[in-house]
Structure 1
Amino acid sequence: MTQIYRIYINDTALIVSDFMPGGIGSYQQIDAQQFDFRDFYQQVKGSIPSVYVLLSQDPKKLFRKIRKPFNVIKAAGGVVKNEENQYLFIYRKGKWDLPKGKLDEDEKTKKAAVREVEEECGIKVLEAEDKLCRTWHVYEEKGEVVFKKTTWYTMKAENQPLTPQLEEGITEARWFAPSDFEYIKRNTYPLICDVISLIEV
């Protein structure tokens, strides 16, 4: 069984895998034996978007080794579809995004996903369904490098008025048809493109 992990630092992707994935465009392969993630992060955090690949016979073990020295922040979000087969997106910090946020203390992941969607978009979720995927995003918080693990769930909601949560920097919430996804992809994060690619339309 093939294994692949994607770690995003801004728009740069680090792929840890036991095979060379296709469709990733130009990339740079890194020697896993000499790899130090902290040094790698400092090198790429302000660079132009790039793709790096670490090949390993045991990607799961290597991925755990990479993230073990760092704090992991747990978050959850939703891919929300209405009865008209439209999907919910938010506009924050100049890019299209999906609603998500950090878990409260002792909060269950799916419950947090629903709460964040409802808070950020001012809607009522009818149903939270299956887990869609997990994504990993690395950034700095209070001067420390942290890994954010976001668990994404598919959800259903009625087509209803949307109220963006302005205090979270969300200036717009909007329903989009799958035919609009290419428009979204032109101004979003590679991580969000990964999530969108899993939507069955």
Structure 2
Amino acid sequence: MQIKIHTHNKVLYLCDQPNDYLKELLHHPETVLIDELDMHSVKAMLRELTLPEIKTGIFVHPDFEQLKNAFFRKFEIIRAGGGLVLNESREVLMIHRRGFWDLPKGKLDEGETIEACALREVKEETGLSQLELGAPLLVTYHTYEQGTHHILKESHWFQMRGTATEQLVPQTEEDITNIGWVAPVQIAVYKELAYPSIVDVLDAWAQTS
């Protein structure tokens, strides 16, 4: 098993066994490997990822759940749901927020299913009401600081169907300043101005197309 976590413009992989891609990364001098799990190793990995010469961390332990739990305990976990919405022309709905191109998503409310959260947040952020929930696409992870809190956001992404005939209304109170349908041939341009986790979602969608 394996998960990918974006943290401060670096990438950390947690896994029980490196795949071929990670084995290749291990040959790079900017990659750090930790393969022991104890009370100090999680802090050691986080410290290594603050070094300017390090770009990638690989944390390996045969008990993946134990490794994941040990790492996640260092953070406040926030779960979120979002959608990659396609219209009749297979254009992707993208929003512009705080200087980056993004996909609609938001935090899970208490007692809410992650599917209901994803649909609600996409509707609220885009103004779309005619949405059809499709298959799960990907779960992304990224960390950030909020005051003195260390946050790890776990975002569950779903494929969705919408219609280009509906009026798009960006949710300005969520700092969304632009919204529009993007043709697949234009996606590469938008990825250059998107968060790394959003690039992962777009790449996952491209692999299913």
With the shorter chain as reference, the TM-score category is 0.7 to 0.9
Partner of 2:87: 82
Tell whether the 8 Å contact from 1:9 to 1:45 is kept in structure 2 after alignment.
no
Partner of 2:135: 130
Partner of 1:193: 199
Partner of 2:56: 51
Give the gaps of 5 or more residues in structure 2.
none
Measured in 2, the distance between the counterparts of 1:100 and 1:46 equals: 31
One-letter code of the match for 1:111?
Answer: A
Partner of 1:184: 190
Pick one of 9, 17, 37 that aligns with 2:7.
9
One-letter code of the match for 1:193?
Answer: V
Measured in 2, the distance between the counterparts of 1:123 and 1:60 equals: 38
TM-score normalized with structure 2 length:
0.84
One-letter code of the match for 2:6?
Answer: Y
SS at match of 2:90: coil
Specify whether residues 10 and 165 from structure 1 end up closer, same or farther in structure 2 by C-alpha distance, changes over 3 A only.
Answer: farther
Partner of 1:72: 77
User: What is the CA distance between 1:38 and its match in structure 2?
Assistant: 4.3
Partner of 1:22: 21
Partner of 1:61: 66
Give the gaps of 5 or more residues in structure 1.
none
Measured in 2, the distance between the counterparts of 1:74 and 1:94 equals: 23
C-alpha RMSD of the superposition: 2.4
User: What is the CA distance between 1:164 and its match in structure 2?
Assistant: 1.2
Pick one of 163, 187, 197 that aligns with 1:158.
163
Structure 1, residues 59-116: CA drift from partner, whole Å, max 9, x if none? 3331222112432111110111111111111111111111111012211111111111
Tell whether the 8 Å contact from 1:79 to 1:98 is kept in structure 2 after alignment.
yes
Specify whether residues 45 and 117 from structure 1 end up closer, same or farther in structure 2 by C-alpha distance, changes over 3 A only.
Answer: farther
User: What is the CA distance between 1:56 and its match in structure 2?
Assistant: 3.0
Could you list the structure 1 runs, at least 4 aligned residues long, displaced by more than 3 angstroms after superposition.
23-27, 34-49
Measured in 1, the distance between the counterparts of 2:196 and 2:175 equals: 20
Structure 1, residues 26-61: CA drift from partner, whole Å, max 9, x if none? 550322327644454466469588222223333333
Tell whether the 8 Å contact from 2:95 to 2:178 is kept in structure 1 after alignment.
yes
Measured in 1, the distance between the counterparts of 2:159 and 2:147 equals: 32
Tell whether the 8 Å contact from 2:126 to 2:169 is kept in structure 1 after alignment.
yes
Are residues 1:144 and 2:149 paired? yes
Give the structure with higher Rg (CA).
2
Specify whether residues 16 and 179 from structure 1 end up closer, same or farther in structure 2 by C-alpha distance, changes over 3 A only.
Answer: same
Q: Using the aligned pairs only, state the percent identity.
A: 30
One-letter code of the match for 1:165?
Answer: Q
Partner of 2:109: 104
